[in-house]
A and B are shown apart, each in its own frame.
Chain A
């Protein structure tokens, strides 16, 4: 009864094509964003920022990127970790070489650089499909990580091989570096991610999204409609890497503050983000957020309930956490292979009829 669309007539195609055509959805999103923007900063502290909100937002951005490539365009990629590294190292080089450059510009440019790299490694996708393409992305993953580890120019020749983010400000407020306030880093990341999520949503519901999905669903038929496979796939690789690169830059500069090629951006990251989009829902922007939330929160909840709740040793808890994550992944894949996004859709459809059963 609350969720009825009765009385909501769309009188123009624009209205029908809106991102949130149902009024209740719009209210929900607005309230949610207001809470996120106004309430959370008042309550946030270092722990929550670093353990929950920043990783959630940053991984959501990366998940959006990977979802564009794998979920919408159907090109499996296991190179997400390496592309995040590209974004991170690009931002590092720019921050150290151009200290006066606005950090927003730095992040966007890092994304652009990553997009170029992504498109380069995406070239094989014209010839290669499916799991075979995954190998091409693995080549990217291992090669790039090795490159950043071996070539000292990337980490400015410092002795440890690590890169650390110098302090930078936005509108006079510190957002990077050890002295940045959690509220500041949080709001900055929130706005950044929200804006680019909006752009991504626009892309996937328009011509680009349709071309990508056409390639995913039946690339032969797509060509016969007039879609050009190479340009469409390259665009997917480019835009996807753009998002993943920015996520990597944010991860390095705003969240972690420091990074080391193999440790921070290894193959585990690639699998982690892939999990997020599969559990969240392939081909769904909302799914990217839900999947990121799940993979960020679940380990925390598991650890808290096991270590604090049951008093297990931290090491044992870690092992059990791994087992449980595996079980949960399998469980969700069995129950809803299309991810949380589909569950959400089903819930909304049921809500439309509530409290009537049919």
Chain B
């Protein structure tokens, strides 16, 4: 029983990590209709910058974080200026492919700027297992993962408020619906996009910190982007709470499958299980758990 619980918790915490990346996707998709494949690479780039600032320039953690945030905002500005501005109102697949190109650019740039070896990321987050949980319940849960869960929750609350209550939030939703219509009522696409990509970049930084603290900053971080797809399928492409729930379901489902089913077939099921799960889901609910049903009119 303990073992099962540990697996579930492990799955939940992995799920939270997925959600962090998925939230970044949702933000950008919600506000610009772009499926940002580069989200994973953004997380990687953010983490690399953080580590680089700390190692190469010897900055203390808090200063390095501020520095990285500044870099991500500058990056958002650059992306808007060089890429997004020229692709207003193009088809989704074109926008998606451009983010693929962006992923390549960021990957190469990260390698050149900060080097491509695996890095250790230590910004003072608590490491090791939670002693309290271990002593009281015999459960092995990493403190880091608890921190990640708390951070993710806080992030969701902040973002939800941001979107629903503020003027900018409304403008973001308008832009997601229809670029040209938003332009015609005077919404500055430029500003909106820079804001969104900055926020997304900061979310990516958070995700990068969490992942990086856990398993080091390395290339595989960027592949998380692909795992976010099943999360988004379940949670819907435009729902932040959905991203959390989707992430949790995928995280737990994956871990359980790996342990219980994987042992039967030789392991490594984690590679594809999430996608199969999402696929099975789609067959019953083509618009995902929280997605909106698209009614096609003729």
Per-residue CB contact flags for chain B residues 214-250 toward chain A (1 = under 8 Å, else 0) read: 0000000000001001100100010000000000000
Q: Are A146 and B268 in contact (CB under 8 A)?
A: yes
Q: Which of A136, A146, A271, A325 contacts B271 (CB 8 A)?
A: A146
- B104, CB-defined interface residue at 8 Å: yes
A143 to B276, CA, bound (A): 8
Contact with B along A192-226 (1 / 0, CB 8 A): 00000000000000000000000000001100100
Interface size class of B (residues with CB under 8 A): 35 or more
B277 to chain A, nearest CB (A): 9
CB neighbours of A333 from chain B (8 A): 87, 90, 94, 97-98, 101
Q: How far is the CB of A140 from chain B (nearest CB, A)?
A: 8
Segment among A93-101, A124-132, A227-235 that sits at the interface with chain B = A124-132
Q: Does A33 contact B (CB under 8 A)?
A: no
Interface set, chain A 139-166, CB cutoff 8 A to B: 139, 142-143, 145-146, 149-150
Q: Which residues of A contact B83 (CB under 8 A)?
A: 330, 334
Q: Which of B91, B96, B103, B282 is the one whose CB lies under 8 Å from A326? A: B103
Complex CA distance for A128 and B111, rounded to whole angstroms: 38
A300 at the interface (CB under 8 A from B): no
Which residues of B have CB within 8 Å of A257?
none
Q: Tell me the minimal C-beta distance from B141 to chain A in angstroms.
A: 29
Give Cα A124–Cα B282 distance, bound, in whole angstroms: 8
Residues of chain A within 8 A (CB-CB) of B104 are 322-323, 325-326, 329
Docked-complex contact A142 and B266, CB < 8 angstroms: no
Complex Cα distance, B157 from A330, in Å, reads 35
A323 touches B108 (CB 8 A): yes
Inter-chain CA distance A271–B106, complex, in Å, is 17
**Interface contact A143-B275, CB-CB below 8 Å:** yes
Q: Cβ of A337 and Cβ of B90 under 8 Å apart?
A: yes
Cβ of B161 under 8 Å from chain A: no
Quick check: is B159 within 8 A (CB to CB) of the other chain? Answer: no
Contacts of B272 in A (CB 8 A): 139, 142-143, 146
Q: Which residue of B lies closest to A218 (CB)?
A: B298
B135 at the interface (CB under 8 A from A): no
Chain A interface SS verdict (over half): helix
- For residue B1, CB closer than 8 A to chain A, the reply is no
A138 CA to B276 CA, complexed, in Å: 9
CA distance A221 to B287 in the complex (A): 21
Q: Smallest Cβ distance from A4 to chain B, in angstroms?
A: 35
Q: Which of B102, B112, B265, B275 contacts A139 (CB 8 A)?
A: B275
Q: How far is the CB of B108 from chain A (nearest CB, A)?
A: 4
Task: Say how far B198's CB is from chain A's closest CB, in angstroms.
Answer: 20
A328 to B288, CA, bound (A): 34
**Structural contact, B86 and A127, CB atoms closer than 8 A:** no
Residue-wise interface mask of A (298-331) relative to B, using a CB-CB cutoff of 8 A (1 in contact, 0 not): 0000000000000000001001111111111110
Residues of B within 8 A of A324 (CB): 108
**Whole-angstrom distance between the alpha carbons of A327 and B102 in the complex?**
7
Least distance between B162 CB and chain A CB atoms (Å): 25
Residue of A nearest to B35 (CB): A131
A251 at the interface (CB under 8 A from B): no
Interface string of B276-294 (1 = CB under 8 A from A): 1011001100111000000
Q: Are A135 and B102 in contact (CB under 8 A)?
A: no
* CB-CB under 8 A for A329 and B101, given A135-B229, A334-B86, A337-B90: yes
Are A127's CB and B233's CB within 8 A?
A: no
Contact A136 B102 (CB under 8 A): no
Chain A CB within 10 A, most for which of B105, B279, B283, B286: B279
CB distance from B187 to the nearest CB of A (A): 22
- For residue A142, which residues in chain B have a CB less than 8 angstroms away from its CB? 271-272, 275
Residues of chain A contacted by B226 (CB below 8 angstroms): 138, 267
Q: Which 3 A-B pairs have the closest CB atoms?
A: A326-B104, A329-B101, A323-B108
Q: Tell me the A residues contacting B by CB distance below 8 Å.
A: 76, 124, 127-132, 134-136, 138-139, 142-143, 145-146, 149-150, 220-221, 224, 267, 271, 274-275, 278, 316, 319-330, 333-334, 337
**Chain B residues engaging chain A, CB cutoff 8 angstroms:** 35, 82-83, 86-87, 90-94, 96-98, 100-109, 111-112, 116, 226, 229-230, 233, 237, 265-266, 268-269, 271-272, 275-276, 278-279, 282-283, 286-288, 296, 298
